[in-house]
Amino acid sequence: MTRKFELINRILDILNSSRDLGELLNSISSITAELTDADSCFIYLHDRESNELILMGSSVMVPRVTVKLKLGEGIAGIVGKERKPIAISRRAYEDPRFKVFRFLEQDTYEAILSVPVEFNGNLVGVINVQHRKEHRYTRREILMVEMISKLVSGVLERDWLYEQYKKKAETLERILESVLVGDEDLIPRLEYVIGNMLKIPVKVSPYRINSAPVKSRHFTVHLPEGYGIDEEHRKALMLILNQADLIMDNRKLQDEIEERKLVEKAKGILMKRGFSEEEAYRFLRKKAMDSRKKLRDVAESIILSAEIFN
């Protein structure tokens, strides 16, 4: 039992670290396999745009081939669709629900346990643990994997969304790399691009004004009074604004993830000094309010102090 607590504590440490998503998933897969005495563990993440499960983490080496399952396809796909665990103790590869990938050795294993990962009602992914030999999964083992899925769901949800936003933003930034690149303020660049396109001077506000004729989720374009815009120019204008919105979403999500990681790390430092998790969070919030600083700044101060004194 002590060993299991140590492994769970390792998962918490990993979630509080700033490693990339791939390393995070592989580490969680390895610990999950160890906790369940499994021969391997896979973690699939749900791509909401394509509505597919994509193999993103593994406790063992797998071929560099993208493995995807539609919801309802294969054991993991059915678990993702129905949001209920499936446990098969023997000859899993002969189960009619099973989809075999010939290049995956794990698809020849005898037993499999598949558990959904959910966060706030959204499907985040699926965790699969596999055994080479026949293995009857106990209720305790199923609960263990379910507990891990709940433990990691929030972090995976945010980090996976960030990765998807990042890829979309990178694609769109490449399309408009001559005008919408770098970390500088988007406003003057938007004004430059839109002004050149419409051949008039324009102003862009970094917020949405519902009564304005041209607006997106994060920006409003102010046109000269009485200026009319045709449908083709409106479509081109909205393409630019939607791309700028995506860049803003990406930046905001990245900031939120970095702040969450810093806060969790600071909470961990305080908990080692005798605080409960709730007390540690209240302490951080109070310090932020009293000093009129951001929660992130207070967390960074605590982390820096701990590093200096250690």
Q: Evaluate whether 152 touches 11 at the Cβ level (below 8 Å).
A: yes
pLDDT at 24: 87
6 and 133 co-located in one domain: yes
Of 83, 117, 152, the domain-final residue: 152
Residue 171 lies in a domain: no
pLDDT by residue (tens digit) across 203-244? 999 889 988 888 999 999 999 888 888 887 888 788 888 888
Tell me: do 7 and 143 sit in the same domain: yes
Using a cut of 0.75, tell me whether the model's pTM lies above it. no
> Quick check: 38 and 9 in contact, CB under 8 A?
no
Low-confidence stretches of the chain (pLDDT beneath 50): none
Tell whether 133 and 195 lie within a shared domain: no
| CA 126 – CA 149 distance, rounded (Å) | 8
What pLDDT, on the 0 to 100 scale, is given for residue 5?
A: 60
Same domain, 127 and 23: yes
The answer on 7 and 148 residing in a single domain is: yes
Q: Are residues 248 and 131 in the same domain?
A: no
Is 160 inside any structural domain?
no
pLDDT of residue 40: 92
Whether 45 and 125 share a structural domain: yes
Give whole-number Cα distances, 187 to 97, 201, 245, in Å.
52, 13, 12
Same domain, 6 and 148: yes
pLDDT at 95: 84
Whether residue 274 is contained in a domain is answered as: yes
- Same domain, yes or no, for 87 and 187? no
- Please give the span between the terminal C-alpha atoms of the chain, in angstroms, as a whole number: 30
**What is the domain extent for residue 94?**
2-152
Q: Could you read off the pLDDT of 121-132 as tens digits, one per residue? A: 899 999 999 999
Q: How many domains does the chain have?
A: 2
Is 118 inside a domain boundary? yes
Same domain, 26 and 110: yes
Q: What is the pLDDT of residue 50?
A: 86
* Domain assignment of residue 134, yes or no: yes
Over the Cα atoms of the chain, what is R_g? Answer: 24
Report pLDDT digits (tens) over 183-202. Answer: 567 888 888 888 888 888 99
